[in-house]
């Protein structure tokens, strides 16, 4: 028999025994010809029992029928098969799962000879795979059904996976969010922090933080995130748990509002006011700026409540709160102190006490104007007025409670003075504020009532002719002749004009008046060559249409531009140098002269002197005054003159009052002078008389 012939192939049997996997050989009729020891162990039977049989008497009928059908399929199809199938283990009396490989062998005529089969028992592996799959399915179910948002993030910030809860928070599906950049969900503030957070988490830290995330519809919400690193297949990932804390934040905000804000007006209450005032005092200590406290009480508020009820009173308080907020700057505080009392904290006022008081006065009067406007209370209008008390503070000079007391006392002073007014705590300060306010009021009318005058102070050349100095021109100096105050000093009204912006129309008047005078001088042989110097403020010079203003004045009065000299102060040169250079060059091209006034007292720099087309430097009178006694002033004057000569600029010294001063200046190379030695500032009639006498 064929199997006996095969059985004689001892070497082949030894080779099959050597194979680690269960291997057997069948003939063309599916009868066992050969089987290795691994196969005997897998089937739980010896080869002696199976040899020469097809196994049908040993294996259950249902699986043996499938085995034999596979054998026929292999021979008939002349193919090899690789499949999974159960097999019977007789000793265990159970089916096992095997990975089976079958290959047919034919003779030279194509006749089937043998069927070689290999079986690997994969029962335990399959059970492990099924168990792992079951665990993965259970995990995925928990992942998808978790009420808390879960997300897995790659080290590059891409979303590897998100659960339903996280996707629903943002208005997406999990599929839409896959591979999305986590930064696309964050507000710009949160996005900037992502790289540092990722770095720390991948370094092993566990972080919990709050962020604001955008939803798909563009809205955003607060979220708390707890994150840590996990290792998956040897690669680091970030696992995070996210919670929508909108309700928690809303509750916290509500608690904060109830604790620190007035429920009727929604303004800060007394508790928050004290905190803000403490911060304002600390800020004042750091930067040196003054602050102010305003205490406001509504006049006759009790009568409104008694007559029309508390609902009307509440409406009034709400409207007052809105108007007060509209009167102050960002950073100031408006608080409801209680009842009909309000308190304002003004910060970052001027470092100068008087100017800070003036700023406070201006805001107080603005408040008074607003609160005097009619109120709409249900179906009727109501008029009301405030009494305002004010006190200034600087750093921690006064305790917080003392400041509130001072403002309260000042408010009662306003009540006693007839209500609907503002009073400062310091009576002396109140007097000064009243004087300043009155001066400002008069200053507004000075142009309209033609109270300004130009006085002229002669400027001369150093060389004497017949015992006198040749006049070069004059400086036009502004004077205010007040009908009651008399001659008001420029030191009093020029800073006020600068602060209020009145310097612009006043400066325009000075320019026009000076040009008109130059036109008159051009008609007289005695004065036709005189140069007139006009002071120009920084605010005036920085106007976008300043060049146009000057050119119009020149053409209107038909004057030679070379007879007009504009005097600029060093403070002008602090910023926007490009604009200053451009403006000066345009005017310089028309022929106008430029002088740098008060040179040496401010922010002088050789750098800007090289850039700017000045014709003249003016030595400040403070240096001239000290020439006789101060070696430093002498050195400064000598340096200014030498520097001017090197830059091809002429020099004029102002404030020359004695012949000794003039002689010292002359010896140092100064050739032009201005001062009481040659003439005081005088009206035009006296100035022209002085010229004729010379």
Q: What is the CATH number of the domain that holds 387?
A: 3.30.70.270
For residue 605, what is the domain's CATH number? 3.20.20.450
How far apart, in Å, are the Cα atoms of 54 and each of 24, 71, 81, 115?
12, 11, 19, 12
| Amino acid 8: pLDDT | 45
633 within a domain of the structure (yes/no): yes
User: Is the model's pLDDT at 379 over the cut of 80?
Assistant: no
Highest mean pLDDT among 130-134, 314-318, 514-518: 514-518
Lowest mean pLDDT among 19-33, 136-150, 380-394, 459-473: 136-150
Residue 433 lies in a domain: no
Inside any domain, residue 262? no
pLDDT of residue 256: 62
10 Å CB burial of residue 314 (0-12, 13-18, 19+) is middle
Looking at residue 141, what is its pLDDT? 61
Same domain, 242 and 116: no
606 and 651 share one domain: yes
Structure tokens at 9: 């192939």
Distance CA 277, CA 404 (A): 10
Whether 304 and 228 map to the same domain: the answer is: no
Cα(243)–Cα(109) distance, rounded to whole angstroms? 76
CA angle 144, 146, 152 (to 5 degrees): 65
Residue 448 inside a domain? The answer is no
- Strand 159-162 relative to strand 220-232: parallel, antiparallel, unpaired? unpaired
**Does residue 472 belong to any structural domain of this protein?**
no
Query: Quick one: pLDDT at residue 346?
Result: 94
**Are 197 and 163 found together in one domain?**
yes
Residues 157-207 have pLDDT tens digits of 898 888 888 888 888 988 898 889 888 888 887 888 888 999 999 998 888
Confidence of residue 5 (pLDDT cuts 50, 70, 90): very low
Contact, 451 vs 480, CB < 8 A? yes
Given a cut of 90, whether residue 533 has pLDDT beyond it is yes
Is residue 446 over pLDDT 60? yes
Q: How confident is the model at residue 606 (pLDDT cuts 50, 70, 90)?
A: low
Q: Mind listing the pLDDT tens digit for each residue in 248-285?
A: 777 666 666 667 788 899 899 888 888 889 889 888 88
Domain coverage including residue 601:
501-678
114 with 221, same domain: the answer is no
In a domain, 72, yes or no: yes
Q: Which pair of structure tokens corresponds to residue 279?
A: 């911060």
Q: Look at 132 and 35; give whichever has higher pLDDT.
A: 35
Rg (CA), the chain: 50
Is the residue at 436 inside a domain?
Answer: no
Give residue 530's pLDDT band: very low, low, confident or very high (50, 70, 90).
very high
Residue 637 makes CB contacts below 8 A (sequence gap 6+) with 619, 623, 624, 627, 653, 665, 668, 670
Q: Which two tokens stand for residue 542?
A: 């920085």
What's the CATH code of the domain at 40?
3.30.450.20
Q: Say yes or no to pLDDT of 11 above 70.
A: no
pTM for this entry: 0.51
| pLDDT tens digit sequence for 281-314 | 888 888 889 999 999 999 988 888 877 888 888 9
How many structural domains is the chain composed of? 4
Any domain includes 617: yes
Per cent of the chain over pLDDT 70 is 92
Q: Is pLDDT at 7 greater than 60 in this prediction?
A: no
Given phi > 0 = left and psi -120 to 50 = alpha, else beta, which region is 576? Answer: left
100 lies in the same domain as 205: no
Mean pLDDT value of segment 686-694: 88
Decide if pLDDT at 504 tops 80.
yes
Q: Does 525 lie in the same domain as 417?
A: no
- Which of the listed residues 425, 448, 471 is the one where a domain comes to its end? 425
Same domain, 581 and 537: yes
């Amino acid at each position: 028999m064929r199997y006996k012939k095969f059985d004689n192939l001892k070497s082949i049997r030894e080779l099959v025994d050597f194979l680690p996997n269960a291997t057997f050989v069948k003939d063309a009729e599916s009868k066992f010809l050969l089987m290795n020891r691994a196969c005997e162990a897998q089937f739980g039977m010896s080869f002696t029992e199976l040899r020469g049989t097809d196994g049908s008497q040993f294996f259950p009928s249902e699986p043996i029928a499938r085995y034999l059908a596979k054998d026929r399929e292999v021979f008939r199809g002349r193919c090899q098969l690789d499949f999974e199938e159960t097999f019977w283990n007789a000793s265990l009396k159970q089916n096992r799962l095997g990975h089976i490989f079958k290959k047919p062998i034919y003779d030279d005529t194509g006749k089937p000879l043998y069927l070689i089969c290999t079986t690997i028992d994969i029962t335990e592996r399959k059970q492990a795979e099924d168990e792992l799959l079951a665990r993965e399915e259970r995990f995925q179910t928990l992942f998808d059904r978790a009420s808390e948002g879960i997300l897995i993030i790659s080290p590059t910030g891409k979303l590897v996976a998100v659960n339903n809860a996280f996707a629903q928070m943002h208005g997406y599906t999990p599929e839409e969010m896959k591979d999305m950049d986590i930064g696309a969900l964050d507000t710009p503030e949160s996005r900037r922090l992502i790289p540092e957070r990722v770095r720390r988490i991948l370094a092993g830290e566990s972080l919990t933080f709050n962020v604001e995330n955008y939803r798909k519809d563009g809205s955003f919400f607060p979220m708390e995130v707890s994150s840590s690193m996990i290792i998956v297949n040897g690669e680091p990932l970030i696992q995070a748990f996210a919670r929508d804390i909108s309700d928690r934040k809303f509750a916290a905000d509500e608690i904060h509002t109830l604790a620190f804000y007035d429920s009727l007006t929604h303004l800060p209450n007394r508790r928050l006011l004290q905190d803000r005032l403490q911060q304002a005092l600390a800020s004042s200590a750091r930067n040196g700026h003054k602050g102010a406290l305003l205490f406001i009480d509504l006049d006759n508020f009790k009568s409104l409540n008694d007559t029309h009820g508390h609902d009307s009173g509440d409406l009034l308080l709400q409207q007052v709160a809105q108007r007060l907020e509209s009167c102050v700057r960002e950073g100031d505080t408006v608080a409801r102190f209680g009842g009909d009392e309000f308190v304002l904290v003004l910060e970052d006022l001027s470092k100068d006490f008087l100017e800070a008081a003036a700023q406070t006065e201006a805001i107080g009067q603005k408040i008074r104007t607003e609160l005097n406007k009619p109120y709409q209370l249900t179906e009727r209008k109501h008029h009301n007025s405030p009494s305002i008390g004010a006190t200034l503070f600087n750093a921690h000079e006064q305790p917080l409670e003392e400041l509130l007391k001072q403002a309260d006392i000042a408010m009662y002073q306003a009540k006693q003075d007839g209500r609907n007014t503002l009073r400062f705590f310091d009576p002396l300060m109140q007097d000064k504020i009243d004087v300043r306010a009155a001066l400002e009021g008069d200053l507004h009318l000075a142009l309209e009532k033609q109270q300004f005058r130009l006085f002229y102070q002669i400027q001369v050349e150093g060389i004497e002719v017949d015992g006198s100095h040749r006049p070069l021109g004059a400086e036009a100096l502004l004077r205010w002749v007040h009908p009651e105050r008399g001659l008001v000093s420029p030191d009093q009204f020029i800073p006020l004009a600068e602060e209020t912006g009145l310097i612009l129309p006043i400066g325009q008047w000075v320019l026009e008046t000076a040009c008109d005078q130059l036109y008159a001088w051009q008609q007289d042989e005695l004065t036709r060559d005189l140069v007139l110097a006009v002071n120009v403020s920084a605010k005036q010079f920085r106007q976008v249409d300043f060049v146009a203003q000057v050119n119009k004045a020149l053409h209107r009065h038909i004057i030679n531009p070379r007879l007009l000299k504009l005097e600029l102060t060093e403070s002008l040169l602090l910023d926007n140098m490009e604009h200053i250079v451009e403006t000066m060059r345009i005017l310089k091209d028309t022929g106008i002269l430029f002088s740098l006034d008060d040179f040496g007292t401010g922010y002088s720099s050789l750098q800007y002197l090289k850039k700017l087309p000045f014709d003249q430097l003016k030595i400040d009178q403070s240096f001239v005054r000290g020439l006789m006694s101060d070696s430093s002033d002498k050195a400064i004057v000598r340096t200014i003159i030498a520097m001017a000569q090197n830059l091809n600029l002429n020099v004029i010294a102002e404030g020359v009052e004695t012949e000794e001063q003039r002689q010292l200046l002359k010896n140092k190379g100064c050739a032009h002078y201005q001062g009481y030695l040659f003439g005081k500032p005088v009206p035009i009639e006296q100035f022209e008389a002085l010229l004729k006498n010379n």
